[in-house]
Structure 1
Amino acid sequence: MRKYLTIGIALLIGSCVDPYRPPEVSAPNTYLVVDGFLNATGGSTIRLSRTQNLSESKKPTIETKATVKVEGEKGGSQTFVDQGDGTYTLAAGGLQFNQKYRLSIKTAVGRSYASDYVTVKQTPKIDNVSWQAQNQGVQFQVTTHDPTNNTKYYRWEYEETWEFYSAYYSSVDYLNKQFVSRAENINHCWRTEKSTGIFVASSVKLTEDVINKFPLVFVSNSSSNRLKIRYSLLVRQSALTAEAFEYWQNLRKNTESLGSIFDPQPFQVIGNIHGVTDPNEPVVGYLSGYSVEEQRIFVSPTQLPSTWRIPSGYESCVPDTVLLAPPAPDLSAAEMAGAGWIPIEGYLSPQGILIAYLMGSPTCIDCRTAGVNVKPGFW
């Protein structure tokens, strides 16, 4: 009896729970997304796109042929150059510290948007980007301060770049249905990834405007090959206003919440860009103005604990020997190369005749599947 009761309850639960799909998931509206900032010491870039439904898998639609201007509170304006791909750029030199500016946008269909006026802040220099080896990897930290005690609010972004080698060195290429000597090294690469998290901190509650060893990225010594050969971290620092800090703090809470009932519940993050044509139209984004300070550091394996065994990422790669003329139904080396396999090196018979090639999959041989084989200029 208990068995049938359990089955009955399961069927009842399964038949009574309907999936809830909020109207926003399938809403037909697409809202303007404004991404970028006003750079006081370099060129400024603004990216315009449109929101999309959660159920869509395609890339967001870019907003082209818009007119984007920066306007000073005391008068004057400058027009961004439309790059044709949803990005709009402004050359350096036209913005001043401690002055207020706003962004004005008019789309190709004639809808207008404008940001609040924002003060352009000067960012203090980074004192130090440091790292500390821990049990499971390396923790990177940033230290900074403002001797004038005027900054108080900080934000950081970073770029990771690391060097790596594929599992095998390929000296042979397959071009025009022929095996030839390889002209390009596809064994040695570099990969760069940008930060996706939100990193902000404030010194408001401190007696001095100092941020000491704020934790940024943690790099594992067992689940990644980042530290295997050589690793570099570029940290970018910017000064925020109190309003911008609150925006990024709220956005961080929304995006990083685990979603349990005990966590802060998601809420709408209000930016400082508004619809002019329709004041009730939501706009996604927040405009700030500041200078950017950078610092780059490198970490080599000789600096890390000698007991660490950092993976290469290619531990499961096993090449295969493929004959030029195998017995049926096996595929020949040419057929395997035509199907995408990459030759590594040739095998000769005792008589010195080429009879086979050692071959492997692109993910094991061609490092360009995970990076680029062009050495960065800073390396």
Structure 2
Amino acid sequence: MPANRYYIILILLVLVSKACIEPYDPIINETQEVMVIDGVITDQAGMHQVTVSISSPYGEPEFRPVGGCVVSVQDDLGNVEFYSENWETKGVYEAWLDEPFLGVGKSYSLQVVAPSSNVYVSDYDTLLSCPPVDAVYYTQEQSGGTDPDDIWQGIQFYNDVRGFDGGTRNYRWKAIATWEYRSPFTAQYVRYKGQNIPYIVDSVSACWMTETIETVYAASTQLLSENNIFQNKLHYVSDQTPRLAQRYSLLVEQYSLTDQAYTYWEKLAAQSANSASLYETQPSSSQGNIYNANGSSEKVLGCFYASQIQDERIFVEWDELSFSAGAYTCRLDTLFNNSTFMYDKYYYLISLNPLGPGPPWMGGARKCFDCTERGGDNEIPDFW
């Protein structure tokens, strides 16, 4: 009898452990298409955008535009500005706005008339003053798991805020990264159908790539005695990427938010932090301050808000770091004059002959020699 009890317990443990490791496959019944409307009014003169789209299914985030809308923004004085749909990008509506329409302390409301004749309106949102970015800085930090082989070096960016009375106590940050990278090799010739064509192009050895960081950063001082934030955690860059191999820059844009707008962005920040866990969410998968003005209970996603923007840029030089960044690797092949390898394709060559250009050659794909092939631009940015 004790032996039988032992085997029963053992079987139960096996069944329980098996159940624990079964992947959780959630059943999602929400298939309804929902309007998604996003827009922002800032204090900065320039082109302002409003996007109108339809929600995408869970796990398949994509922009599904709604064209043919009439989009306008009204301020608290009754002034109205109309937006025009971008002729290249359906669902994106633009208007050039400047003073006196823009101004700190003013409030704004968005109206969208859809092709269905539904009218969508936002609550008025006030453009609050925003303090300057007090500081943007980084520290060298390790990241990864507990296994030493899974630990890597990198830099963690932070920023500080020193607010003032009468200004916002709610903040959102957008991080935009730019980095310089180089081609691993410089070609001397291009081979095509057995012929070596001289190739002298120095302008494709250095490029710059710019990327908006998708992570949402938001914080509030409403529950703090002072309107200050220190060591607000932003973007992390590891040594597993070659982005730190030359020069790296991070532009931090700081936005003022009303309480209502902050509630929306706080939800998005939580989704941004957890989107890789159970569900993959689409942009603007939270309900904000926009509603159907026809009296319908229709759910509308997205938010329209007003904000003053302050920004600060930081540069990171490769020789400031105590570790080496990852390298971009490219495979080259050895070729001789009678080689028919890649005969019908362009192949970029380097001569290994110590007496001058000639065989043997090392050759490879264009991306090993032309930095623009990796997606960047070879025109140096103005701020660089």
Residues 72-129 of structure 1 show CA distances to partners (whole Å, capped at 9, x for unaligned) of 2332211113222132222222123222210001123433211111111122111111
State TM-score, norm by structure 1.
0.80
Q: CA deviation at 1:41?
A: 2.4
TM-score (norm 2): 0.79
Identify the match of residue 326 of structure 2 among 307, 311, 317.
311
User: Aligned ranges for residues 52-131 of structure 1 at < 5 Å?
Assistant: 52-54=56-58, 56=60, 59-84=62-87, 85=89, 86-91=91-96, 92-93=98-99, 94-131=101-138
Residue 209 (structure 1) aligned with residue 215 (structure 2): no
Counterpart secondary structure, 1:250: helix
Offset at residue 209 of structure 1 (A): 1.0
State the identity as a percent.
25
Q: Is the 8 A contact 2:74 2:80 kept in 1?
A: yes
Deviation of 1:183 (Å) = 5.0
Kindly provide the amino acid, as one letter, of the partner of residue 350 in structure 2. Answer: E
- Separation in 2, partners of 1:128, 1:90: 32
Counterpart CA distance in 1 for 2:52 and 2:67 is: 8
Residue 45 (str. 1) matches residue 63 (str. 2): no
**Aligned-partner Cα distance in 1 for 2:192–2:82:** 49
Question: Which residues of structure 1 form unaligned runs of 5+?
Answer: 262-267
C-alpha distance in structure 2 between counterparts of 1:233 and 1:225, whole Å: 15
1:130 and 1:173, CA in 2 relative to 1: closer, same or farther beyond 3 A? same
Q: 2:160 is matched with which residue?
A: 143
Secondary structure, aligned partner of 1:288: strand
Deviation at 1:196, TM superposition (A): 0.9
Q: Any idea what SS the aligned residue of 1:334 has? A: coil
Question: Given residue 274 of structure 1, which amino acid in structure 2 is its aligned partner?
Answer: Y
2:28 maps to: 22
C-alpha root-mean-square deviation of aligned residues, in Å? 3.3
Equivalent residues, number: 348
| Distance of 1:176 and 1:65 partners within structure 2 | 51
- The answer for the alignment partner of 1:172 in structure 2 is 189
How far has the Cα of 1:212 moved from its partner? 1.7
Report whether the alignment pairs 1:334 with 2:334.
Answer: no
* Paired residue secondary structure (1:271): coil
Taking the aligned partners of 2:94 and 2:209, their CA distance within structure 1 comes to 26
Structure 2, unpaired ranges of 5+: 1-6, 143-152, 279-284
* Structure 1 residues 349 and 290: CA distance shift in structure 2, 3 A: closer
Equivalence for 1:190:
208
1:280 corresponds to which residue? 297
Q: CA deviation at 1:134?
A: 2.9
In structure 2, distance between residues paired with 1:17 and 1:218? 30
Say if 1:149 and 1:208, in contact at 8 Å, map to a contact too.
no
Give 1:191 shift. 1.4
Q: In the alignment, which residue of structure 2 is the partner of 1:264? A: none
Give the Å deviation of 1:141: 1.2
